Amino acid sequence: MSFSSGHRQSILFLAANPQNTSRLTIDQELREIGEGLQRAQKRDQFQLEQRLAVRPRDLQRAMLDINPQIIHFSGHGTGEAGLIFEDEIGNAKLVDGEALARLFQLFAEQIRCVVLNRCYSQVQAKAIAKHIDYVIGMNQAISDRAAIEFAVGFYDALGAGRSIEFAYKLGCAAIQMADMPEHLIPVLLNKSTSFDATVQPALDGEYIPSLKRLKAKYEDLEEEWEEVSKKLRFFKKERIIKTDSEAKYELAQRIQEYEAKLKEIEEELQDLEQQINQLPERPKNFDLADIPEQLTPVPLNKSNDADVQSISVMQPPVEHLENAPINVFISYSNKDKDLLDEFIKHLAILERQGKITAWYDSLIKAGEEWKTQIEEQLESAQIILLLISPDFMASDHCYEIEMQQAMARHNQGTAQVIPIILRPSNWIDSPFSMLQVLPKDARPVTQWSDRDTAFLNVVEGIRKALNSL
């Protein structure tokens, strides 16, 4: 879809950065978008409107007053919990995806595109995409700089009269051109499919990793489905055998939880099947077996100028890159060592599958300099797990050193931070409070009736994060 018609299109820029949340570079993002549209070829076809410190009520009024065709949200996202707006006194106010979807449904005839340009907004994007033609969300945390690069590329393309699909691709390319590893975080969804659009160019060199990545995810989900099914059958048998009413009730709760998990996996499998079917047409005479076992040329640039040749670099085979384990750093308080030991047992399946290499300070060998080891491991980790408890929050080393360094890397876009709530503690106003936490609903591990179930939920969340990298 293109906005190159003669009708003037309104872009509504919404921003919320409550006083109890981490600061965002919203002013810079708005300025960069405005300057780009001012110099665009089709600048007369776009009108940029803004609403800052937005409350839910302000969103409703702005949509009525401005009648926008594009809505751009810049603020905090918290995954399933929702997007963060402001309340009457400037504090955080969560609005979930379903509430947003119901609102956008009322304006579906006028709105053509919604851009949720902040962390963990994919959940809300999927809900809105049931009613709006094009929705862009972020499948994990994204740095301020990467979010701005995406926005500039996206609106520059629209201002040049290009389609939304092209603008999305240019936004992703702009992130990569700025030498940031976050170009796969933005996802484009549309009303007809409501799943991540694979809008990659249909180049032979790109077809291979896309197909293999999706098939690998599919196989992982099939394994997970088998494991959950096996446990579900066991719980159903146990429920028949048990006579104690309390035990039967607990088993009924477990059965309900695992049935919901099976349904979720089945939906993900269906989405992956659709994504595989939506891949660009396989090149003629293409066979996965034809991929060289040694080095694979990867096209970096193409030119229509006959005097300029395509540039290629030699990289390791795709399967080697994709199968390399992810370095995971675990930050914890020594007072939680027993819980750490339980957690490590549950992580073992990801290590056995070659998906991760987990590191924590108990692995430091005698005679090694512990401070250097921690700094090196923390700096090289792609995923950083924070095991949150009152002791973690009270520890100078955990909170002031490891957590602060982890959040610095998160903000730079060089690592993904996942807080895991072990025990009840006051973490709401902490630097990581805007991140999606585990287990489900931020319920501390120690408050689950069965800790194995709690840690299983945590590992499933980590697996999803791994699949998104």
What is the C-alpha separation between 423 and 331, in angstroms, rounded?
Answer: 15
* Pairing of β 311-315 and β 326-331: unpaired
What is the C-alpha separation between 232 and 257, in angstroms, rounded?
Answer: 9
Complete edge-to-edge strand list for the sheet that includes strand 416-421: 356-359, 326-331, 383-388, 416-421
What is the C-alpha separation between 149 and 169, in angstroms, rounded?
Answer: 12
pLDDT of residue 274: 67
What is the C-alpha separation between 349 and 429, in angstroms, rounded?
Answer: 33
pLDDT by 10s per residue, the chain, length 469: 555 455 789 999 999 988 877 788 899 999 999 999 999 888 888 999 999 999 999 999 999 999 999 999 998 887 777 888 998 888 888 888 888 999 999 999 899 999 998 887 888 888 899 899 999 998 887 888 899 999 999 999 999 989 999 999 999 999 989 888 788 889 998 875 444 333 333 334 444 445 666 677 777 778 888 888 888 787 777 777 766 777 777 778 888 888 888 888 887 777 777 666 655 554 444 444 443 333 333 333 333 333 333 333 333 343 433 456 888 999 999 999 999 999 999 998 888 888 898 999 888 877 778 888 888 888 888 999 999 999 999 999 999 999 999 998 888 778 899 999 999 999 988 889 888 899 988 899 999 998 988 999 999 999 888 877 6
pLDDT of residue 339: 95
For residue 200, what are its two tokens?
């990659």
The domain at 325-468 falls in which architecture? Answer: 3-Layer(aba) Sandwich (3.40)
pLDDT of residue 280: 52
Domain 9-190, CATH among 3.40.50.300, 3.40.50.1460, 3.40.50.720, 3.30.420.40: 3.40.50.1460
pTM over 0.95? The answer is no
